[in-house]
Amino acid sequence: MCWAAPATEAEADTDMPVQRQIQLQGILGEKAVLFVDGERKMVSVGKPPFRGVRLLRVLPDAVEVNVDGQPRRLTLGGNLSVSGPIKVRESVTVTVPRDKSGMYSSIGSINGLTVKMLVDTGASTVAMNEGHARRLGVDYRVRGQPVYVGTASGVARAHQVNLKKVTLGGITLRNVPAVVIEGRFPVQVLLGMSFLGQLDVQHQGTLMRLKKTR
């Protein structure tokens, strides 16, 4: 069988100049109700910015804010239009082709070590056998929680663990739940829903597309 790394498509973060609309809609003590680019939120002095707008000071009928690094004053009911950058969220898409056996197999890594994986939406979690765990440095006997799991061969003893890092193509997730099953099964590491469930998974013909939006 021939193994290949999954194809990765990425759209990087970009700063696009846009005309931003900001309005002060209410004042409640040290808090203010802001309407920013079509979204309303109550913000507080000293708290993290809301869509690039940080509340600095509350006055009787106005507030002082920092908009994308620039000091501004907003009055009740007034509109502020400013040109500034707005972040476009980055998305990464990994494409995994179906092999001759009808499976979606690929090469990824666990804890920085390369491993062959079966991308399996039917598996509830990432799963591996004892041999896989030892090679990947997963200390399941000390750090794992003993459990029993159902397999094709019946009920088996296993250990619940958290994997520090799981990577497939350009997608990396951390602290991914997994099980280490005692014995030789599964023969291949299963990349199950504890990883896939955090992504947008789509089937397009013989391709599986996994998308992560940051």
Look at residue 89 in the predicted model and tell me its pLDDT.
Answer: 54
Each residue's pLDDT, cut to its tens digit, for the chain (214 residues) gives 445 567 766 554 444 555 678 889 889 888 999 888 878 889 998 888 888 888 999 998 899 998 877 888 999 877 776 665 545 557 899 999 999 999 999 999 999 999 999 999 999 999 999 999 999 999 999 999 999 998 877 899 999 999 999 999 999 999 999 999 999 999 999 999 999 999 999 999 999 999 998 6
Look at residue 11 in the predicted model and tell me its pLDDT.
Answer: 53
Buried b (16+ CB within 10 A) or exposed e, 163-173: beebbbbebeb
* Reported pTM: 0.64
Q: Determine the straight-line distance between the first and last CA of the chain, rounded to whole angstroms.
A: 34
Q: Choose among 104, 125, 134: nearest CA to 116.
A: 104
Tokens of 180: 């280490």
Which long-range contacts does 31-36 make (Cβ < 8 Å, 24+ apart)? 31/55, 31/58, 32/58, 32/63, 34/65, 34/74
Look at residue 85 in the predicted model and tell me its pLDDT.
Answer: 53
Q: What is the Cα–Cα distance from 193 to 87, expressed in whole angstroms?
A: 30
165 sits in which H/E element: strand 154-168
Look at residue 76 in the predicted model and tell me its pLDDT.
Answer: 86
Q: Set out the domains of the chain in order of their start, with CATH numbers.
A: 16-86 (2.30.30.830), 91-213 (2.40.70.10)
Look at residue 49 in the predicted model and tell me its pLDDT.
Answer: 86
Q: What is the Cα–Cα distance from 121 to 17, expressed in whole angstroms?
A: 40
Q: What is the Cα–Cα distance from 160 to 178, expressed in whole angstroms?
A: 6
Q: Are strands 126-129 and 171-181 parallel, antiparallel or unpaired?
A: parallel
Q: Which residue has the tokens 């696009």?
A: 16
Tokens of 110: 């666990």
- Give 59's contacts (C-beta < 8 A, 6+ positions apart): none
φ, ψ for residue 75 (rounded to 5)? -105, 155
How many C-beta neighbours within 10 Å does residue 178 have? 26
Q: Are strands 91-97 and 126-129 parallel, antiparallel or unpaired?
A: unpaired
